[in-house]
Structure 1
Amino acid sequence: MNRIDLTLDDMANTKFLTLYNSLIKSFTASTEFSSNDVVSLLIVFYKYALNNGSRMMTTNQLYNLFLVSFGIFDTTIIDRVLMNITQDGRSVSPEAWMRLFCVFFTGNLQERMKFAFEVYTSAGTVVLNREVVGLAIEKFFYGDDDDEVNELRADMCEFLFAKFDTDKDGVIAFEEYAEIVQNQPGLLEFLGKIFPDDKDRSLVAYCHNIESMFPPEDEY
């Protein structure tokens, strides 16, 4: 038989096709990825699952990818992303795996905004209130002078609400966030990095053989 992955034996290749054939068709039809891209991504997922003796990845395995490949080191952000893409926060399904790569590689700003806001509000709120924003920006300021640090945090919180709370009701709704980010895309991740940057996305594309996402050769 023609093996999809030469590092897997015939039985493992056959099992892969049996398990993922319908998902390959579904994700090829519904995402920006080519069929080869989807196969490559699901092969990587399959190998993680095989290593577990399971049909699922563990969140610890994905956690390590955030740190090593995605260039995202904020553990609170990682935990929130994992909670948003998984059902139980402990295991990662192939659907969750593909959703993560879809949102990480999409050029659709609306989808990225929706995902980012869901991550920022995953503490149980549907809007960003001062408590949520205050906790998020604590990591931006640190030092030996507690009074100065607290003052800087308070000033930043006031600045962000002056910027994003356009109706001045004391909370930041998605519509307000989206309106600002559409005009200033650089503010997409204003409460912490969620998405890999271009360099890390290129690394991930090469490591996972996502050919359609390889950068143009003249960039390197």
Structure 2
Amino acid sequence: MGLAAELGLDETERGRIALVVTEAGTNVLKHGDGGEIVLGRPADSAGAEIEVLAIDRGPGMEDLGKSLRDGYSTSGSPGTGLGAIGRLSSEFDIYTLPGAGTVVLARVRARKAELPESGRRLSLGVIGLPIVGERVSGDAWAAADSKERSVLMVVDGLGHGVLAATAARAAVRAFHQNVGASSERLVAALHEALRGTRGGAVAIVDVRWPDRHLEFAGVGNVSAGFYTPRGSRSSVFYKI
């Protein structure tokens, strides 16, 4: 539990994390035909907090409400796994699709940790992992979020490994230095910042909340999808 200790969670909180990971891993193995467990600090965390993401490609759940009730099981187990995860977590969410799989999200927050700032508009979720065989990822992201405007960036450094990560970090620095600019000028600033590095593909999403206006700008093989209750679409300019 080195990550939990590093982030300042005490012994009791580290115990909660251990139980959440154990229950999530058991569910992935028993019900999900295998999968992945990803641990990290949440993208929008303001304090000592760990996020556990359990992803499987199993049969999914036909009745999520029933599956969340203690005592219900499809494998002969006590049927307390999901309920236990929910009770031990500071935040808990689940998405399941019959025939496709299940994703369980659990966050355990230290008692002393601050909640995300009230002035923020977005709840951010990011997964970034290095390619197999590398120790660092060549991808990176950055965000600036307020009541008036939210700007998000993703960058895919060319290639893999350390040199790709160096390019991605240069883009992140340039983003924070120029985040007040328009999307067009921000992309131009990122282009300049990547000179002398391997370069990379970048994408910007700029949301202006008072105008209910979303703008996407990108260079390279990074795309964006917009999902609403009415469906999904890809667009450069989008009214929300």
Give the TM-score taking structure 2 as reference length: 0.24
Give the TM-score taking structure 1 as reference length: 0.26
More strand by share: 2
